[in-house]
Structure 1
Amino acid sequence: MQRSRKRKQINSSLKPFRTTASCRSHPAEDPYSDHPRPTFEECRSVRDDLLSLHGFPQEFVKYRERRLQMGLRESQILPKGGECGEKESVLDGLIRTVLSQNTTEVNSERAFGNLKCAFPTWEQVLAAESKGVEDAIRCGGLAPTKSSCIKNLLSCLLQKKGNLCMEYLRELSIEEIKAELSHFKGIGPKTVACVLMFQLQKDDFPVDTHVSTVNVVVSMVATLQDIKKTYLHLNQRIPDELKFDLNCLLYTHGKACKRCSNRNDGGLKKETGDGHCPLLAYRKHQAAEK
């Protein structure tokens, strides 16, 4: 009875929302079409269980607020002096995501801040020597690789569009955005999916190590061998209105719960809550079915 009451409170405080473009239009074939999970009920239940455990992750609140406001007029979304502040540009978000690859959030945010401090405009980044860009982002790791990716992106964008702005992507469909971004060297599926979900407020479900590991634990996917297949399967199975919340919560849980990670972290990860992981129930359910 107590669990039902809590579930009802969660559902009333975190209502599903939809955005202007739907992933249901994705023509991609499901590589695990014979794997029936996750179901709609399972997705919603996992979302609610993780929300009860962690609360909604603070780092993603600003993005969720923007999604909730998409149906309002621009003057209502960004009122003068309003709380939401200035909307992050698509190009800023894309480069921020590039810098987040293979490093911690703290280091990637520091690298992005250093880059913007050293070169306030993207035109200045493009004009700068590669060594200067590398030095600015070195704390984020893989500085030569990321510097090359960023400068190539800016160069191609300027050649293609005549300016360093990617706001035109907001008017495109999900498949058109994927096709557009695939032209830029070093911009992979995960980066594209993150830009879709966070900067463009589209219904997509990025899959990284944290998310894919947790999904295997709760039997949402058949295998962890191919993250691309995992991405395609989950985007077919997870309802659009749950993708954003579920992805943010699975990402947060994957970092916090050592029971849902196959990696040896030397004891750095802590047990969730009182030591009980709510996702173990889904694992037991699968075992009972076999």
Structure 2
Amino acid sequence: MKELSEKNIIEVLERLKEAYGTRPWNWHTQQKPFYVLISTILSQRTRDPQTDAAAQALLRRFPTPHDLAHAPPDEIALIIRGVNYHRTKALRVKEVSRIIAERYGGKVPTDLESLLSLPGVGPKTANCVLLYGFHQAVLPVDTHVHRIANRLGWVNTRRPEETEENLKEVIPKTWIPYVNDLFVKHGQTLCRPKRPLCEECNVRNYCQYWKDREHQKGPEKNL
């Protein structure tokens, strides 16, 4: 942490930008706010391809908050059966849609507090809506962001909420909107939870995890 500098942070982000670009890969992060919200709720504990397939099918059938609020829960569950906990999520997206239709006139709220008041919406989901739906400069922290930020040595945290606050203190503001997408892409491609592909990583020389791993190998690595 003592070696952490803004220059190093920018160099890492520039390298990730060169590798992955800044355009979102996933369908659900390129949509209007209501679609981002519903898709992100569906994405919890579910891989992105399954999330996108379920979200597209559901929102094609029930495209507005009013439509989804009045949809039969069993039909919703059937459509989104490809995601984990699909029955629970069916009830959740129906209730969220009802609140948006009745309390907010069919418009997704644009502030964090209102989003967090929706059932099943935590900081990561709320920030995804603000970032991808409303293009606000916020920093959603999912498992990829939390893992990679700690591996790099930018933070030393146990919970995503801590990671978010600490990252906002060290990352230049102009880069804040890009961190989630870059880290998610990197986490899905190379910096995996288990058996990360460090040898293929273009930021490994900036990474504390890599340095610690190489140090543990000792002199044998040169034999």
Q: Output the TM-score relative to the length of structure 1.
A: 0.65
Query: Which amino acid letter does the alignment assign opposite residue 165 of structure 1?
Result: K
Instruction: Write the mapping of 1:106-145 to structure 2, written as runs, cut at 5 A.
Output: 106-145=49-88
- Tell me what 1:56 maps to: 21
Structure 1 contact 110–140 (Cα < 8 Å) conserved? no
Q: CA deviation at 1:116?
A: 2.1
Which structure has more relative contact order (CA 8 Å, sep 6+)? It is 1
More helix by share: 2
Supply the distance in 2 between the matched residues of 1:254 and 1:131 (Cα, whole angstroms).
Answer: 34
CA-to-aligned-CA distance 1:270-290 (integer Å, 9 cap, x gap): x47xx4323321235976xxx
Number of positions where the alignment pairs a residue of Structure 1 with one of Structure 2: 212
CA-to-aligned-CA distance 1:76-99 (integer Å, 9 cap, x gap): xxxxxxxxxxx9432122112111
- Tell me what 2:221 maps to: none
Structure 2 contact 77–86 (Cα < 8 Å) conserved? yes
CA-to-aligned-CA distance 1:175-217 (integer Å, 9 cap, x gap): xx11111111100000011111111111111111112111111
Q: Say which SS state the counterpart of residue 107 (structure 2) adopts.
A: coil
Q: Say which SS state the counterpart of residue 138 (structure 1) adopts.
A: coil
Instruction: Write the mapping of 1:215-230 to structure 2, written as runs, cut at 5 A.
Output: 215-223=149-157, 225-230=158-163
Supply the distance in 2 between the matched residues of 1:191 and 1:137 (Cα, whole angstroms).
Answer: 18
- Tell me what 2:114 maps to: 180
Unaligned runs of 5+ in 1: 1-34, 65-86, 170-176
Q: 1:276 to 1:190 in 2, by over 3 A?
A: same
CA-to-aligned-CA distance 1:138-175 (integer Å, 9 cap, x gap): 112211121121111122223323x2222x62xxxxxx
Does structure 1 residue 103 correspond to structure 2 residue 46?
yes
Unaligned runs of 5+ in 2: 213-223
Supply the distance in 2 between the matched residues of 1:211 and 1:59 (Cα, whole angstroms).
Answer: 15
Structure 2 contact 22–178 (Cα < 8 Å) conserved? no
RMSD: 2.9
Q: Say which SS state the counterpart of residue 136 (structure 2) adopts.
A: coil
- Tell me what 1:263 maps to: 194
Give identity over the alignment, percent.
23
Q: CA deviation at 1:58?
A: 4.5
Query: Which amino acid letter does the alignment assign opposite residue 43 of structure 2?
Result: S
Instruction: Write the mapping of 1:187-198 to structure 2, written as runs, cut at 5 A.
Output: 187-198=121-132
- Tell me what 1:248 maps to: 181
Structure 2 contact 24–181 (Cα < 8 Å) conserved? no
Q: 1:119 to 1:94 in 2, by over 3 A?
A: same
